[in-house]
Amino acid sequence: MSTTTITNAAVEALPNTSSLSFHPKSPQTQPSASAVGLNGMLENIEMKDRTVTTKTAAPSTSSVSNTNAHRVRANIQFISLCYSLFLAGWNDGTTGPLLPRIQEVYHVGFAIVSLIFVFACVGSISGAFLNFPITDRLGFGKVMVLGSLFQIVAFCLEASALPFPGFVFGYAVNGVGSALQDAQANGFVASLKDNASAKMGMLHAAYGAGALASPLVATQFAQIDRWSFHYLVSLGIAVTNTIALLAIFGLKSQDECLAQIGQAPQEQVTSQHSKFRQIFSLKAVHFLAFFILVYVGIQVTIGGWIVTYIIDVRGGGPSSGYISAGFFGGLTMGRVGLLWVNQKVGERRVLYIYTALAIGLELIIWFVPSLIGDAVAVSLVGILLGPIYPIVMNESSKVLPHWLLTQSIGWIAAFGQAGSAVLPFITGALASKVGIKSLQPLLVSMMSLMIALWWLVPSSPRRVD
Local structure of residue 266 (DSSP, 8 states): P
pLDDT (mean) for 102-119? 88
Total H helices, total E strands in the chain: 20, 0
pTM score, two decimals? 0.73
Distance CA(257)–CA(76), nearest Å, equals: 11
Direct distance between the N- and C-terminal alpha carbons of the chain, in angstroms, rounded to an integer: 96
Residue type, 31: P
Nearest to 94 by CA among 200, 180, 179, 170: 170
pLDDT for res 462 = 56
Question: Residue 191 in 3-state DSSP?
Answer: coil
Local structure of residue 19 (DSSP, 8 states): T
Cβ neighbours of residue 398 closer than 8 Å, sequence gap 6 or more: 461
Question: Phi and psi for 152 in degrees, rounded to 5?
Answer: -60, -45
pLDDT for res 332 = 87
**C-alpha distance from residue 438 to each of 172, 261, 304 (Å):** 26, 50, 14
279 within 8 A of 394, measured Cβ to Cβ = no
Question: Domains (ranges, CATH) in the chain?
Answer: 69-263 (1.20.1250.20), 275-464 (1.20.1250.20)
Q: Is 14 exposed, middle or buried (0-12, 13-18, 19+ CB in 10 A)?
A: exposed
pLDDT for res 395 = 87
Q: pLDDT tens across 269-305, in order? A: 555 456 778 888 888 899 999 999 999 999 989 988 8
Distance CA(197)–CA(336), nearest Å, equals: 11
More confident residue, 24 or 248: 248
Q: pLDDT tens across 214-234, in order? A: 988 998 898 888 899 999 999
Nearest to 13 by CA among 32, 22, 26: 22
Q: How confident is the model at residue 38 (pLDDT cuts 50, 70, 90)?
A: very low
Nearest to 265 by CA among 257, 273, 274: 257
pLDDT (mean) for 231-255? 94
Q: pLDDT tens across 320-357, in order? A: 878 888 898 898 899 888 988 988 999 899 999 999 99
Q: pLDDT tens across 112-135, in order? A: 888 898 898 889 888 888 888 888
To the nearest 10 degrees (0 to 180), the angle between helices 196-221 and 230-249 is: 150
CA 91 to chain centre: 18
Nearest to 150 by CA among 275, 245, 291, 280: 245
Distance CA(87)–CA(94), nearest Å, equals: 11
pLDDT for res 45 = 42
Q: Flag the least confident range among 27-41, 102-116, 149-163, 297-311.
A: 27-41
209 within 8 A of 176, measured Cβ to Cβ = no
Residue type, 390: P
Q: Flag the least confident range among 374-383, 412-421, 450-459.
A: 412-421
Q: How confident is the model at residue 151 (pLDDT cuts 50, 70, 90)?
A: very high
Question: Phi and psi for 460 in degrees, rounded to 5?
Answer: -135, 155
Question: Residue 107 in 3-state DSSP?
Answer: coil
